[in-house]
Amino acid sequence: MFHLFRSRKQAFRIVLAVVVAPIIITMVVTLIPGIGGSSYQGDPDLVLAEVGGDEVTTREAQYQLQDYVRSQRFPPAAYGFLAPQVVQNLIADKLLLQEARRLGLEVTEEELADQLRTQLPFLFQEGTFARDRYAVFIQERFQKSIPEFEAEFRKQLALDKLRRLVTDGVIVTPAEVDREFQRRQQKARIEYVAVSTAAAQTSVSSTPAEIDGHFQKNRGLYTLPERRTFHYFVLDDARIAASLAINPKDLERYYSENRDRYRIQERSRVTHILLKTTEKSAEEIKKIEAKAQDILKQAHAGKDFAELAKTNSEDSVSAAKGGEIGWITRGQTVPEFERRAFTMKPGEMSDVVKTQYGFHILKLLAREEARLKPLKEVEVSIREEFAKDKTDLERSRLADRVRAAAQKHAAKPEEAGREVGLPVLTASQIERGNPLPEAGAEPALMDALFSAAKGSVVGPVLMTGKTVVAVVTEVLPSRQAELAEVVERVRTDANGLKARQAAEKRAKDLAEQTKSGGDIRKAAKQIGLEAKTSDWFTREGSIPGVGPASSVGEAFTAVLGSVVGPVSAGGDQIVYRVLERQEGESAASVEEKKTIRQTLVGTRQNEAFEVFKEELRERLRKQGKLKVHQNRLDRFVSANRG
């Protein structure tokens, strides 16, 4: 990849020039902030647990809980079930971070820079880090400041280092890989009967007394989410832009004031083939150089350079593009590479070039001398930038006017609308996540609207192409539902429970009859069901009418001819007889062995890290450095159950 032959000095300058941090996209869930949504009204600073010199407070736990419920689209009833796990996760993270600090697992600037380039390559345009774009991206995507965002990631990177320290010693032997492959190759056939829960549901009903009993037993599951009413104004960027006129003289002045932005440095567009020599012995380096010379001969003989790069280059990123790394300017690459890239003519190919990373073969695709782009060449982009700047400025001015008018006429929003010349929109008793007409339901808007107090003016909230200013006029807190408000939902749940119980009993009776020597086909027929015979399936396969083979996993271990069940599969109950098994015969390919090994290593690493966490927790508990206030935690969980 490109950073393999980037100048180390240049990379360090980039790190110093901007505040950078890596981003792991899978962290989106844990990094997006969220406020509001549950019924918790307790002391936000109450300490739930003490971890070394750190604390887990109800404020922090509620923040994480609401964020997770919202991002994963769980219903409000999920708060009570998830609350204990959220607190335990916070405790675990703090324990692990303290252990990482104790072991000196610090995150260097170079590590941050490498992660940024790897995870956010679009922030690097022609080798230059886009500072402004980075700040906008972090704000729009995560609603965080750069320092907040980077602090979160530094923690995650430290945890990753600790995990690697703990788990890198995990090994899987070739024999274990072979055994796992044979296990996966095993096949089985079964004779089975599916007792459908859905079919049972058509024949069950619940009396009013049963519905009331189900509701009383499961009241915590039936809550009404918080609802709010808003009067609001929408500022549309497209309408603002259409109302603005752009004078050609403004474009000329903009070009004149920003001439340096339109200067092109001397640059070369290069494609290359890299054979790495890092951490190789002298003997290996000789062989690698010989291979590079052979590839060069093939290229001179007319073989397609792009194909040679795809087949041979060890710069995986550029190899996928036929070796092309794009435009480079002076100072971006190591000296040996730069020297050839800026002395060749377009179409010319270099000899074998040795750098600290290995042997390169370069081919120059194009060259551009340093120059200033004329106004005519950049007029379209200038017009777009100028229009955007002007729109942003006008939007900001208008948003300030709207907010001031909304504060002035909070009780009479129509007066505010007349003052600023915008229509007043109303969203009545909406739940979090419900879109507002003409405004939508972007997370930033929902966060702002559902965290403000009644009577507050919210905004301006900047979204994609729109800005919203709103007044919170009504707040109906989340509360325990009355039966009449959710009676149909309770009826469905009660009927579903009865149907599931009926299916389970029917399947259990069938299993008992066949396990005592009865014929599974005859027994099924007597109760109006049909026994079916499956095709051969593997552990990772599926069975029509059953689903994933994992639900009938005993087919690979039970005695042939024995009856197993009932087992749950896709909501149905399955009773089956093991007919046949077949051992795998084929040998694993190199790629299959690699995949299996990676899976086994990953599983064992997860297990090893869980053991490490439990041992760490126990050690710190004995040292008096971990204290969980269980009574407070119980109250926190209870409050979230409504």
pLDDT at residue number 34: 31
pLDDT at residue number 360: 94
Q: Which residues of the chain have pLDDT under 50?
A: 1-42
Q: Residue 452 belongs to a domain with what CATH number?
A: 3.10.50
Output the DSSP codes for 171-198: ---HHHHHHHHHHHH-EEEEEEEEE-HH
- 543 sits in which H/E element: strand 542-543
pLDDT at residue number 237: 82
Helices (H), 261-324: 282-300, 305-312, 316-319
Do residues 89 and 158 share a domain? yes
Helices (H), 354-482: 375-408, 413-420, 443-449
SS in 3 state form for 226-269? CEEEEEEEEEEHHHHHHCCCCCHHHHHHHHHHCHHHHEECCEEE
Do residues 240 and 320 share a domain? no
Do residues 69 and 162 share a domain? yes
Note whether residue 449 is domain-resident: yes
pLDDT at residue number 449: 87
Helices (H), 103-145: 109-119, 131-142
Q: Provide the whole-model pTM.
A: 0.51
Do residues 320 and 432 share a domain? no
Do residues 53 and 144 share a domain? yes
Dihedral (CA of 136, 141, 142, 147) sign: negative
- Residues whose CB is less than 8 angstroms from the CB of residue 464 and which lie 6 or more positions away in sequence, other chains included: 442
Determine contact, residues 451/444, Cβ cutoff 8 Å: no
As separate numbers, helices (DSSP H) first and strands (DSSP E) second, the chain gives 23, 24
Q: Is the peptide bond before 225 cis (omega within 30 degrees of 0)?
A: no
Give dist(CA 375, CA 379) in Å, integer. 6
pLDDT at residue number 632: 83
Give dist(CA 91, CA 614) in Å, integer. 12
Do residues 12 and 95 share a domain? yes
Task: State the burial class of residue 51 (Cβ atoms within 10 Å of its Cβ: 0-12, 13-18, 19+).
Answer: buried
Determine contact, residues 472/456, Cβ cutoff 8 Å: yes
For strands 227-236 and 223-224, give the pairing: unpaired
Note whether residue 257 is domain-resident: no
Determine contact, residues 490/210, Cβ cutoff 8 Å: no
Give dist(CA 336, CA 355) in Å, integer. 6
Note whether residue 596 is domain-resident: no
Indicate left, alpha or beta for 37 from its phi (over 0: left) and psi (-120 to 50: alpha): left
Considering 476, 495, 514, which residue would you say is the last residue of a domain? Answer: 476
Q: Please report, as a single letter, which amino acid is at residue 30.
A: T
Output the DSSP codes for 582-617: E---SPPPHHHHHHHHHHHHHHHHHHHHHHHHHHHH
| Structure tokens given for 504 | 């389970």
Q: Is the peptide bond before 566 cis (omega within 30 degrees of 0)?
A: yes
In the chain, how many domains are there?
4
> pLDDT tens digit string along 479-512?
888 899 889 999 988 998 888 888 888 899 888 8
Do residues 514 and 454 share a domain? no
pLDDT at residue number 141: 66
pLDDT at residue number 290: 94
Note whether residue 613 is domain-resident: no
Give dist(CA 533, CA 555) in Å, integer. 13
Considering 447, 476, 505, which residue would you say is the last residue of a domain? Answer: 476
Give dist(CA 351, CA 195) in Å, integer. 73
Note whether residue 511 is domain-resident: yes
Q: Which domain holds residue 94?
A: 2-171+622-640
Do residues 277 and 337 share a domain? yes
Note whether residue 610 is domain-resident: no
Note whether residue 595 is domain-resident: no
> pLDDT tens digit string along 334-384?
889 988 989 999 999 999 999 988 999 999 999 888 788 887 777 777 777
- Residues whose CB is less than 8 angstroms from the CB of residue 252 and which lie 6 or more positions away in sequence, other chains included: 375
Output the DSSP codes for 16-74: HHS------GGGHHHHS-----S---S-TT-EEEEETTEEEEHHHHHHHHHHHHHHTT-
